[in-house]
Amino acid sequence: MIKLLIVDDSALMRRLLAGLFAAEGDFEVRLARDGEEGLDMARAERPDVMTLDVQMPRMDGLACLDRLMIEAPCPVVMVSAITEKGAEATLEALRLGAVDVVTKPTGAVSLEMDRLGPLIVAKVRAAAGAKLRRSLRLTEVVRHRVGREALSLQRSSRSLLAIRPEPAAAVGRMVLIGTSTGGPPALETVLSQFPADFPCPVLVVQHMPATFTGAMARRLDALCAIEVVEVDAPMPIVPGRAYIGRGDADLLLARRSGGLVALPAPASEKYLWHPSVDRMVDSVLELLPAEQLLGVLMTGMGRDGAEAMTRLRQRGGRTIAESEATAVVWGMPGELVRSGGAEAVVPLDEIAPLILRMVT
């Protein structure tokens, strides 16, 4: 049995979530009404996984999570409202150590729960077996203290670079990154190591709702020397820029008269997860030789990206999979390894240096 603690100040949400997981048959469910009660229960009962509301009285989700990761660490899935404020708070929760996020049903909550229920269960079930990055905060503290001055200099040099859209024939190498559960901190670790004059464009797919991908792109842009943007409209492809796929849509590469552009496309029912890593990689393979491409698959549940990146490797491209030792969930990169599509399998902190060696 999976010991699940649901922490939410809404009696309706507690009842709906408890019923959802009780129906699965392999969850032992406990309930808490706010962060303070949830923290006490987590200390006493040591659950396998928690769902944690963001906005609560007495002690909110962020304060609870902050103490939880120190006093009684366990995998946490944040339950967040689809608002700009909720998105910013949720990204902060992922930085503090939460594994994943699900959106809180709105409107006719009971009907919405029927639609969102399978995804919520899948995410919580995956989180129950996730690894916690216990050194994450220490790593962040060291990076911010030591790297603040260097980042400032790199960002200054970025503003001086006269980067203009290049024609398709001059694009050169391109990096394609896919990630899901546990992905935002992993993306921060990798992208923050790229210099401002990084020689390639980077297309990034992170499974997330639309509200959160915009906030994530802004956060990464503030932390990284390269420019990071959310693709909410067609954008010219240029080196030294990372393009984050908009949530609840798909990220595609297309050719226009001025060259190559990244653009959002309506989510295709052919693919289970969105934005879709497989669809993004396949769209790039239609326009560029595989020899110019480097595919990177990091932490995440499921197998999105494994098939397309295996094809990329078979056609002469290069691929990297995050190793099981550091992946929060070794689903997507594990599938790439099992399919024989991974040229290199390395821990998270070695991915950026390896990318730099491969593309330069």
Quote the CA–CA distance of 224 and 226 in Å, as a whole number. 5
* 180 catalytic per annotation: yes
Q: In the structure encoding, which two tokens stand for residue 42, read together?
A: 């987590």
Closest CA relative to residue 173, chosen from 306, 314, 289: 289
* 304 catalytic per annotation: yes
Burial 5-32 (b: 16+ CB within 10 A, else e): bbbbbbeebbebbbebbeeeeebebbbb
First vs last Cα of the chain: how many Å apart?
49
User: What phi-psi label fits residue 356: left (phi over 0), alpha (psi between -120 and 50 degrees) or beta?
Assistant: alpha
Closest CA relative to residue 280, chosen from 316, 313, 256, 244: 244
Question: Catalytic pick from 9, 60, 100, 304?
Answer: 304
Question: Catalytic pick from 8, 192, 207, 221?
Answer: 207
Contact 85, 93 (CB under 8 A): no
Quote the CA–CA distance of 299 and 348 in Å, as a whole number. 9
Question: Catalytic pick from 80, 180, 276, 283?
Answer: 180
User: Which residues have C-beta within 8 Å of that of residue 216, sequence separation ≥ 6?
Assistant: 91, 184, 187, 206, 208, 230, 244
**Residues assigned a catalytic role:** 180, 207, 304
